[in-house]
Structure formats: structure tokens, C-alpha cells
Amino acid sequence: MHMRSVALLCSIAILAACSGKMGQSSLTPTVSNNPAFAGNAAAQGKGALVMRVKMSRRADRPDYVSPATQGMSVAITGPTNFKQSAGLLANARGCKSSLMTVECTLTIPSLTACPTSANCYTGSVTTYDKFNSATNKIPGGAKKLSADLAFHFSIHSGDTTVPVVLQGIVKSIAFIPGPTSSLTGNMKSGFIFPKCSAKKEAVSIVAVDADKNYILGVGAPAIAVATDDKTQLGVAKAKGIAPNTFALVPPKSPNYAYGNHTTHLTVTATPRSGSGQTAQDTVVAVTYSGDICGKFTEFAIPTVASHPWGITLGADGNLWFTELTANKIGRITTAGTITEFPVPTTGAGPAGIAGGADGNIWFVESSASKIGKMTTTGSAVEFATTTAASNPVEITPGADGNLWFSESNASKIGTITTGGTVSEFPTLTAAASPFGITQGPDGNVWFTEETANKIGSITTAGAVSEFSIPTASSRATDLVTGSNGALWFVECATNTVASITTLGAFTSQFTTPDISPTYPVFITAGPDGAVWFSEAGVNKIGSATMAGAISEFAIPDVGSEPFHLVTGPDGAIWFVEQSGNKVGRLR
């Protein structure tokens, strides 16, 4: 794309070949020393309009013109009307060239003088990217590049010069990251802003003409940028002399950038008066990356020794968690405000928790062998499992719109409709102790069998399959679908993160760097495409890429014993600290 600025493309010199005293009814012609007036000396009350267009081809000059410019049309209305086209090429009539410059002269003779000193003429100039030198006309199909459709002047005694600034005609808008910018992407797909960067990102925003040349300089339209979410991404004019440079501003502490959050910038190019066109808009999407920056924040749960177990994202945009010994369901906003709601059954032991397709919060009551449903306002109802003392542990939404849960003591997988109807299906292995459970990418529900050392799956019709884990006595506790479409699970007894395809093939197995018993217990899909897991034994949150690169982050509160974790609406990893009695956030 070519750099282009439309500046003082031409000065229109109103060279009136007449003089006299004010109030006289006739004007006595004089002879100008300008060659353009040859032959006009006898024309009483007439003047000539001489248009000189000087076009530099140097991009560093403020009057640099589009390299696509080849011709222009001129129309004059007033006491005398005139319309003509002119070429702006080196070989065009009235044009001459020198180093890096083409200069053209167009003379419009015999314009009747204005009756008063007020402007009585209106001029219109439009430039084009094509010109036919043989016919001295703008050919059909030529694209308009710039225009001034309403400049006013007068023909009166003496010489008058009227500058005309051609306004670039906008066909599109270019959004250009600065040379040192960390932004990646393009106008079509959107741009990615690195979430962990706290610096402002400089961008140039430029209007583009029909020949894909940038419109810069005096005749360029005014550029404005508006954000649809200024708390996540602000916009400011960048310091310096560049008029089209803006700064994209990430939030300042205590606010923070939300991973994978998209802000839409509306860019408006508003032409100055005279171009004959309206403002042009385009929308640019800027999305923060899903990176985790290693910054922890911890929020104390109001109830002492509540032993939080599970955490999930609710339909209301808040995080919801269970308090095992406090017998409560907690809600925390992304700003850290916690509200607690009691579970109806005393000593129910709420554990696993999930958001349902109905917009409610669903949780298991491990001690009461019930399934609970809570609205986002805190109103709860309960439904008993079919098998007594089944010890439900974890719960997940299924592809069928029902909730599916594991029953550790009963070695069954249960399902409950949003209306409260419960069904149960036994695992193929007796005393399997099913534990973690999740919806798989194949539409089936997948689960771990902690004591049987297997991974199981069940269709929504109740058909169960099981796959033996290669590592003996691994004590697989939880699993989740990874960004590569495999099921990733943690082996609590072997410090291992592993994966299995939906066809039952075990494909990956990675050990955590810490050689201590790390006890990876729960796992979730991260905002960055990795899987994230809690290491209860070493007080860390770990991550593993699909290629097996493992990273670990130590939780500030020593001995917190992290348990369940989930990606929040802010792109952070939210987790509960069972011993620390806190909800943590890693962003």
C-alpha cells in the first residue's frame, strides 16, 4: 500500500484583468504580466482563473499526492459557467516534469467579474486515477481520489489567490500497529493484544482511497476511535506530532485485562467540508491473549474452616463454590465479593458443582446422597439419588441437557434431568469408585475410576465403556477435554498428567517437575489452550501444554491445599483452597 497525503494540491489564482474605482458601472481592463493573460487585455470586466497543480512524488513531503493521480475535472458556476478536464501527467497538455515533480497549468479565461466584492463563483475540483490524453477527458471507470466540491471565490479588481484543499475520498480504513508493537493479526481476523503486557500499544489509523493509497496530510479526514469497553481497553491520542497515531491502553491495577476478552473499536473517518462524502466507519476487534501471567490474588471465605471443595462458572458470570463442612454454597464475583447460601439439608457435605443448561447451579451432597439445585439468587431444592449412601462426588452438564454425576460408594454413574428425575447406571468394574466426571467432545460423558485404575465413558443412553490406565495404581481423580480434543486426566498417586483419545488410546503422559508427592487432584481447561491442575501436596497450580510443557506457580498462602479449579469469565484460573479456606485467582 502506498503512502499518500492530499495537501495543498493546487492554488487557484484569481487573476482579475480589470481595475477601477468602486461604484463605477464599468471596469477598465489592464494587462497582467502573467502569460496566462495573453489575449485577454481587451476583455472588459473579465478575469482569468489560472490553476497550477504541483505534484511531488516524494513521500516525505507534506504535499505528497497519491501516486495514482492522473487527472482532474474542474467545474465553475457563477456569472460565467465553465467545465473542463485536465491531465496531471508529465505528457498531458499544460504539464511539465522535473526531478520528482510534475507541474500542470490549467487556464480558465473570460470569467465575468462579480458585481460586488462578495463571492459570486463556486468551484468544484475532483481528481481521478485515470486520464485520456488523446481526448483530454476522464475516461469511464476512473476512480475518484479526492475532491473539493464547494470552494467559493470572486472575480474583482486586482489579483486574488484562493487556496483549495482537496479532501481524500475514503474507501476503507487501515489499522496499523507501530513498528515496536506487540499486536498481532489483521483487520479481517482482528488483533491479539498480549494480556501480560502492561504497556500501551501504539497504532496508526489511516483512511485509504479507492486505489489503496493512504490519505495523509492537510486533506486527510479526521480520525476518531471509540471503544465499546473502556474498562478493558482505553484509547488515547498518542503523544507526538503524528495526527493519526493512537495508544491502546490496557487497564491499570487493581483492574486487569481479561484473557480472551474482545473489545471492539469503532474507527470513524470524517471528511472535512467540501469533499461531498459522509463519514466512514469500520470496526476493529482487539482480543487479549489467554496467557496466564502468574499473578495471584486470594479472597478469604467468611465462614471459618468451611473446607471449600468445588468451583464452577455460573450463568450469571460469577464463580460458585461448595463449602464441604460449612454446608454452604458460595458465590464470588470477579472483583472478589463473596456471598454464602445455606444448603437445606444439615450436614449434606456439598462437593462437586456445575452450571446447568437451565441456568441454575447444580451440586452433589456427598454425605446426604442428594443432588442440589440452586438459582443464582440462592434459592435451593434437593433431589435424592436412587441408591442410598451412594456418596456422589462430582457433577457435570451432559450433551443431552441433563446433569451427570459420579457415585463413589455405589460405583455408579447417575443422571438427573433439570426437572429432578434421577437415573443410575453401574460401572462395568465392581468397586470402581468413579470420581471425576466431564462431558467429552464426542457427546459422551467421561469419568475416572479411582480404585479400578481406569477411565470410563458412558453414552447418554447409558452404555458404559472402560479403558485401563497404563500406569498401575495411578489413582486418577479428575479429567477434562483439552484443546486437542483428547481427555486429559491427573494421576494423583504418580504426579502425572496424561491423556486419552475418545477412541480409548492413551497418548500422553507427563510427570510434574516437582519430585515431591505433588498430588495433582483436579484439572480444567485453561484460557491459553493448556490444561491447568491443582497440586494439593506442594501448594501449587500447574499447567501442561498439549505438547507436555509443564509450568508451576506457587500459591502465596503456604499450606493452602488447592482443590477444584476453573477458568473464569475474566480468563483467570479460579480455584478453592481447602485448607487455606480461601478462593484464589491466578491471572
| Nearest alpha carbon to residue 175 among 197, 190, 161, 163 | 190
Please tell me the predicted confidence (pLDDT) of residue 157: 60
Give me the torsion for CA of 573, 576, 581, 583, rounded to 10°: 30
**CA 466, 471, 475, 476 torsion: positive or negative?**
negative
CA distance 349 to 385: 14
Please tell me the predicted confidence (pLDDT) of residue 22: 20
Residue type, 506: F
Residue type, 150: A
Please tell me the predicted confidence (pLDDT) of residue 111: 84
Q: Which three cell numbers stand for residue 198?
A: 502492561
Q: What is the pTM of this model?
A: 0.84
CA distance 330 to 70: 71
How does pLDDT run along the chain (587 residues), one tens digit per residue? 443 333 323 333 322 222 222 222 222 222 233 333 333 333 347 777 777 776 654 444 444 467 788 998 999 999 999 998 988 887 788 888 776 677 777 778 888 888 888 889 998 889 999 999 888 899 999 999 888 888 888 877 655 566 667 788 899 999 999 989 999 999 999 999 999 988 999 999 999 989 888 888 777 888 999 999 999 999 998 776 566 899 999 999 999 999 999 999 999 999 877 677 889 999 999 999 999 999 999 999 999 999 999 999 999 999 999 999 999 999 999 999 999 999 999 999 999 999 999 999 999 999 999 999 999 999 999 999 999 999 999 999 999 999 999 999 999 999 999 999 999 999 999 999 999 999 999 999 999 999 999 999 999 999 999 999 999 999 999 999 999 999 999 999 999 999 999 999 999 999 999 888 899 999 999 999 999 999 999 999 999 999 999 999 999 999 999 999 999 999 999 999 999 999 999 99
Q: Just list the catalytic residues.
A: 564
Three-state secondary structure string covering 258-275: CCCCEEEEEEEEECCCCC
What pairing do the DSSP bridges indicate for beta strands 190-193 and 280-288?
Answer: parallel
What is Dmax (Cα atoms) for the chain?
118
Residue pair 512/532 in contact by the 8 Å Cβ criterion: no
Please tell me the predicted confidence (pLDDT) of residue 215: 85
| Nearest alpha carbon to residue 534 among 525, 545, 523, 544 | 523
Task: Write out the DSSP string of 488-535.
Answer: EEEETTTTEEEEE-TTS-EEEEEE-S--S---EEEEEE-TTSSEEEEE
Please tell me the predicted confidence (pLDDT) of residue 240: 61
CA distance 342 to 339: 10
